[in-house]
Amino acid sequence: MMHSSQIKAALQDAIPIMTAYFPIGMTFGILSINNGIAWWITILISVCIYAGGAQFMLVGLAISNSSPVTTIVTVILVNLRHVLYGTTLGPAFQKWSERNKWLVAFGLTDEVFAVTSCRRQENPLTPLYQFIFTFACYGTWVAGTVAGVGIGKTVPASISQVLGFALPALFLALLFLGERSAAHVISAICGALMAIITTLLHWGSFGIIAGALSGATIGMLMKVILAKHRYSSYFS
Q: Would residue 193 count as lying in a domain?
A: yes
Number of structural domains (the chain) is 2
Contacts of 116 (CB under 8 A, 6+ apart): 89, 92, 108, 125, 130, 133
Tens of pLDDT, residue by residue, the chain (236 residues): 567 888 999 999 999 899 989 988 988 898 888 878 899 999 999 999 998 878 887 887 787 777 787 778 777 877 877 888 888 888 889 889 999 999 999 999 988 988 998 888 777 889 999 999 999 999 999 999 999 999 877 777 666 666 656 556 655 665 665 666 777 777 778 877 887 887 788 776 566 667 767 777 787 787 777 766 665 655 55
- pLDDT on residue 60: 75
Same domain, 100 and 201: no
- pLDDT on residue 174: 56
DSSP per-residue codes, 87-117: HHHGGGGTTS-HHHHHHHHHT--HHHHHHHH
Please count the CA atoms within 13 angstroms of the CA of 218 that sit on its side-chain side: 18
Asked if residue 134 lies in contact with residue 108, where contact means CB atoms within 8 angstroms, the answer is yes
Q: Would residue 170 count as lying in a domain?
A: no
- pLDDT on residue 2: 62
Same domain, 103 and 152: yes
- pLDDT on residue 217: 79
Same domain, 21 and 76: yes
> Which contiguous run of DSSP H or E holds residue 168?
helix 166-177
Torsion of CA 217, 220, 221, 223, to 10 degrees: 160
- pLDDT on residue 134: 95
Q: Would residue 172 count as lying in a domain?
A: no
The residue out of 163, 190, 208 marking a domain boundary is 163
Say which amino acid occupies 115: V
Same domain, 130 and 197: no
- pLDDT on residue 167: 54
Residue 58 belongs to domain spanning:
2-163
Contacts of 65 (CB under 8 A, 6+ apart): none
Separation between Cα atoms, residue 111 and residue 167, nearest integer Å: 10
pTM above 0.75, yes or no: no
Same domain, 73 and 117: yes
